[in-house]
Amino acid sequence: MFLDGARTVLAFGAHPDDLEAGAGGLLAKLAAGGAHVTMVVTSIPNRFEQRLAEARAGAAVLGAELVLLRDDAASRVEDYAMWELVERYDGIVDRVKPDLVIAHQAEDTHWDHFLVHRAVVSAMRRQRANLIAYSAGSGPAATIGTCFADITDHIDTKLAALGKHATQFSTAKVEAMRDRARAAGVSCGVGYAEVFTPLRVYL
Ligand SMILES: [Zn+2]
């Protein structure tokens, strides 16, 4: 399956915890398989120091490198004009040269998530890489999709990474994410799964 062949992975989130929630299992799986995984956090909107520490701890659990657009102060995604956001992402894509990119889904109802989705799609205009989209929980039901990652062996790592985001995820909420992955697994015949939408796939 093409996802298993990814060696250089670049994943974009609007905020700390988005990637852990929507793609943490896949990122952990790819990192454990030897891929170099880079997680981009576009903005830390509040409680800067605490959420910065959470983002670093979450990425460390997943085995990923963390890239922050700003590591000195709180910011909002909308602080960036769209051209500026694309330009920043262009620089990251040029540096990382990914073969798999993971973006927020277009249907996400959180405006910041949609902006990041749109900027990532634009930043991918010159890069030959597979592109898939994840649900961070504010889009269509995460059990409906056409592309599945079997994260059965990595569900505990995903939940451990989520647990690092204590400002966002209570113990009960982390356990609810286990249920969500289990439900996704039932829909595709594995123990635990994350669901993605393919946006661009090279065969
Ligand atoms: Zn978010």
At 1-25, the pLDDT tens digits run 456 689 999 999 999 999 999 999 9
The residue among 187 and 59 whose pLDDT is bigger is 59
CA distances from 60 to 25, 49, 102, 132, 200 (A): 13, 17, 18, 23, 28
Q: Would strands 193-200 and 147-150 be described as parallel, antiparallel, or unpaired?
A: antiparallel
Q: Which tens digits make up the pLDDT trace of 151-201?
A: 999 999 999 999 999 999 999 999 999 999 999 999 899 999 999 999 999
pTM: 0.96
How many angstroms separate the CA atoms of 18 and 24, rounded? Answer: 9
- Rounded (10°) angle between helices 48-62 and 18-32: 30
Residue range 103-123, pLDDT digits in tens: 999 999 999 999 999 999 999
Task: Write down the H helix ranges in 63-141.
Answer: 82-96, 111-123
Q: What is the mean pLDDT of residues 22-41?
A: 97
pLDDT at 203: 86
- The alpha carbon of 203 and the centre of ligand 1 are apart by a number of angstroms equal to 31
Question: How many A from CA of 156 to the centre of ligand 1?
Answer: 21
What distance in angstroms lies between residue 145's CA and the mean position of ligand 1's atoms? 20
Q: How far is the CA of 192 from the centre of ligand 1 (A)?
A: 22
Tell me, in angstroms, the distance from the centre of ligand 1 to residue 54's CA: 14
Q: What is the pLDDT of residue 146?
A: 85
Q: What DSSP element (H or E) covers 179?
A: helix 171-188
User: What pLDDT does residue 3 have?
Assistant: 67
Ligand 1 centroid to 14 CA: how many Å? 5
Ligand 1 centroid to Cα of residue 155, in Å, is 20
Cα(2) to ligand 1 centroid in Å equals 27
Evaluate the CA torsion angle 6, 12, 16, 21 in order and state its sign.
negative
Instruction: State the distance from the centre of ligand 1 to the C-alpha of 41, rounded, in angstroms.
Output: 9
> Could you state, in order of their start, the residue ranges of all structural domains in the chain?
2-198
**78-103: average pLDDT:** 98
Superfamily designation of domain 2-198: LmbE-like (3.40.50.10320)
